[in-house]
Amino acid sequence: MKSNTITHFFGSSLVLLMALLADTVLAQDEKAIGTILVSKGLVQAVSADGESRELRRRSDIFVEDTIVTSPESFAQIRLIDSAIIALKENSEFQFNEYS
């Protein structure tokens, strides 16, 4: 009986550890490549899976995001290598990859 309890405990712990490691690997794939410095008007990011989110100052940008600016809006993005990208109104810019 005691052996089954110990086996169950270690089996459950192993499954939990594997789940935590998988989340860590996935989180590394979703690491921000930049942030919004300035945003005026409606500025959105559309992810690879089609979900959109409104961007404001300090919002994160990720690989495969498409940044969309509306009429009378603009955005400035600072990438992790300190490069700055400025987008004027009615722009679309996609980050296909970043290294």
Q: What does the domain layout of the chain look like in residue ranges?
A: 1-30, 34-94
Hey, which bits of the chain come out as E strands?
34-40, 43-46, 52-54, 60-61, 66-69, 74-79, 84-87, 92-94
5, 20, 29, 88 from 25: Cα distances, Å: 30, 9, 7, 35
The pLDDT > 90 percentage for the chain reads 69
Mean pLDDT along residues 11-15: 51
Encoding tokens for residue 75? 């955005």
Nearest by Cα to 66 from 84, 50, 89, 83 = 50
Nearest by Cα to 79 from 28, 27, 37 = 37
Q: Are 89 and 41 in contact (CB under 8 A)?
A: yes
Residue 5 has pLDDT above 80, yes or no: no
- Over the chain, what is the mean pLDDT? 83
Predicted confidence at residue 82, as pLDDT, reads 97
Tallying the residues shown for the chain, one arrives at 99
List the single range of 5-9, 10-14, 46-50, 80-84 with lowest mean pLDDT: 10-14
pLDDT band at 3 (very low <50, low <70, confident <90, very high): low
Per residue in 39-48, pLDDT tens?
999 999 999 9
Residue 53 has pLDDT above 70, yes or no: yes
Enumerate residues 6+ apart whose C-beta is below 8 A from 98.
33, 63, 79
